[in-house]
Amino acid sequence: MRPIAEAYKDFPILHKEHNGHRVIYLDSGATAQIPQVVVDRVVEHMTQHNGNPHRGSHVLAIEASEAYENARDRVVEFINAREREEVVFTRNTTESMNLIAHSYGLNNLKAGDKIIITVAEHHANLVTWQYVAEKTGATLEYMYLDESGHLKDGEINKIDETTKIVAFAHISNVLGMEFPVKELTEKAHSVGAVVVLDGAQSTPHKKIDVQELDCDFFVFSGHKMCASQGIGVLYGKRELLEAMPPFLLGGDMIEYVKEQSATFNELPYKFEAGTPNADGAVSLHAAIDYLESFGMDAIEAYEEELVAYILPKLLELPHINVIGSTNPKEKHGVIAFTIDDVHPHDVATILDAKGICVRSGHHCAQPLGAFYNVSASTRLSMYLYTRKEDLDAFLEVLKTVRSVMGFKD
């Protein structure tokens, strides 16, 4: 295994300058940066093996098919799916979620059924279920949180015999906290509901084993784990995917087409209409190889160390309010906060002037903001290339924010 201290130098973009400052990237929760090895593998694919996967018997179509299917096998291994039929390539978490909502949700729910999510969900795992509820007559119900970001006592009991879907983030993109997957999944399964786990913020940062998690669907995006944008994954248990109708229709997802009807391809191709993003799949393959060269457990432990380093320092500053838990052990590389009297966009702009990139806004989780009465916040999010000195630089600028805005203390 490579030591994580070596990771930083693998990312050319982290050596770029902005406003005369080295860029310090603390927005990996939005999208991760890409190491040179991933870029090189994609360039090699594009310059040596580019063809349309599954279409044609010439050398380049065959090589492109191999690259694309090898990437699938790598994902199967990475998340420990039982079989390759259970891994579908999509564009991102959002598209995977839409696939489940349309193909499973619209076809399995009816009036009187319940969909249960948490109030912390990203819009990708929220608006989708509003749509399913509206179309089917099912009810969308929320599990609420206490001040420290944990599910309130008893909320889990909202999952009852009428519940058909329980969908939640493995790790929240605002709270940085992990929901109790085992407890929620066991409860959901005890009433016959399916579990949709949003792995967008967990897959890049910790070892994922979908069999152990026992979720029915698991979704994530390549771009948050050092691959390029536009490649995502839907994992689903085979028996569920088998029973679901296709989501998108067109080339490659068919078995046989007649003038008035068509039969559909086998899994996973039934869900992959049109020319796929083979370059993206190659980049995801390369990104998994890259992350595993350090080890997912080591990446998780390193990020724990970073949070344990920065969070207490942040909490010591006056006028700072951290959203959710302030226990470093409960935050997975993501810390969202507000500064009294200063808009998060101003915080982000002041940091940006010094080359420091953080996210500000509602983080695509508006109901969570409304619930906590914090319509916007600033979020710093870390990854394996983040260094303690980056966090020190962030903190130094953060200390100046209120005085830059004209406050005396």
Which residues are catalytically annotated? 364
Between residues 136 and 201, which has the closer beta carbon with respect to ligand PMP? 201
Residue 288 engages ligand PMP in binding (rule: CB under 6 A): no
Tokens at residue 328, please? Answer: 């470093």
CB contact at 8 A, 266 and 85? yes
Smallest separation (angstroms) from ligand PMP to the CB of 201: 5
What does the alpha-carbon distance between residue 109 and residue 174 come to, in Å, rounded to a whole number?
A: 30
Q: Measured between alpha carbons, how far is 147 from 371 in angstroms, rounded to an integer?
A: 10
CB of 235 to ligand PMP, least distance (A): 15
Give every CB contact of residue 202 below 8 A, 6+ residues apart in sequence: 169, 170, 171, 178, 208, 220, 332
Query: Of 198 and 390, which CB lies nearer to ligand PMP in the complex structure?
Result: 198
Beta strands in 186-341 (DSSP E): 194-198, 217-221, 232-236, 254-257, 262-264, 320-322, 334-339
Q: How far apart are CA 360 and CA 349, in angstroms?
A: 9
Say whether residue 169 binds ligand PMP (CB under 6 A). Answer: yes
Task: Give the closest residue to 207 by CA, choosing from 332, 120, 90, 92.
Answer: 332
Is residue 128 close enough to count as binding ligand PMP by CB under 6 A? no
Half-sphere exposure (CA, 13 Å, Cβ side) for 80? 10
Distance between CA atoms of 183 and 192, rounded to whole angstroms? 14
Q: Closer CB to ligand PMP, residue 133 or residue 200? A: 200
Coil/strand/helix, residue 87? strand
We find the least distance from the C-beta atom of residue 94 to ligand PMP, in angstroms, to be 3
Answer yes or no whether residue 122 interacts with ligand PMP by CB under 6 A: yes
Peptide bond into 328 cis (omega under 30): no
Binding flag, residue 368, ligand PMP (CB under 6 A): no
Contact window for ligand PMP (CB under 6 A) among 39-47, 195-203, 248-256, 346-354: 195-203
Q: Which span (66-74, 120-128, 263-271, 378-386) binds ligand PMP, by CB under 6 A? A: 120-128
- Please report the beta strands in 80-216, taking only residues with DSSP state E, as ranges in sequence order: 87-90, 114-118, 139-143, 163-169, 194-198
Least Cβ distance, residue 364 to ligand PMP (angstroms): 6
- Of the two residues 28 and 65, which places its CB atom closer to ligand PMP in the complex? 28
Applying CB under 6 A, which part among 197-205, 208-216, 380-388, 394-402 lies near ligand PMP?
Answer: 197-205
Tell whether residue 364 is a contact of ligand PMP (CB under 6 A).
yes
Nearer to ligand PMP, 54 or 363 (CB): 363
Q: Does 173 bind ligand PMP (CB under 6 A)?
A: yes
Question: Which listed residue (28, 65, 92, 381) binds ligand PMP by CB under 6 A?
Answer: 92
67 binds ligand PMP (CB under 6 A): no
Nearer to ligand PMP, 65 or 96 (CB): 96
Asked if residue 378 binds ligand PMP (CB under 6 A), the reply is no
Judge contact between 220 and 93, C-beta under 8 A: yes
Angstrom distance (rounded) from CA 116 to CA 167: 6
CB 219 within 8 A of CB 196: yes
Interacting stretch for ligand PMP, rule CB under 6 A, among 39-47, 194-202, 235-243, 279-287? 194-202
Cβ closer to ligand PMP: 221 or 386? 221
Which among 296, 316, 284 has a CA at the least distance from the CA of 383? 296
Cβ 123 to ligand PMP shortest distance, Å = 8
Nearer to ligand PMP, 126 or 393 (CB): 126
**Which part of the chain contacts ligand PMP (CB under 6 A), choosing from 117-125, 152-160, 278-286, 311-319?**
117-125
Tokens of 163: 């519940």
Does position 94 bind ligand PMP by CB under 6 A?
yes
Kindly state the number of chain residues that form the binding site for ligand PMP, as judged by CB under 6 A. 13
Check binding of 283 to ligand PMP (CB under 6 A).
Answer: no
Q: What whole-number distance in Å separates Cα of residue 287 and Cα of residue 15?
A: 20
Residues in contact with ligand PMP by CB under 6 A are: 92-94, 122, 124-125, 169, 173, 198, 200-201, 221, 364
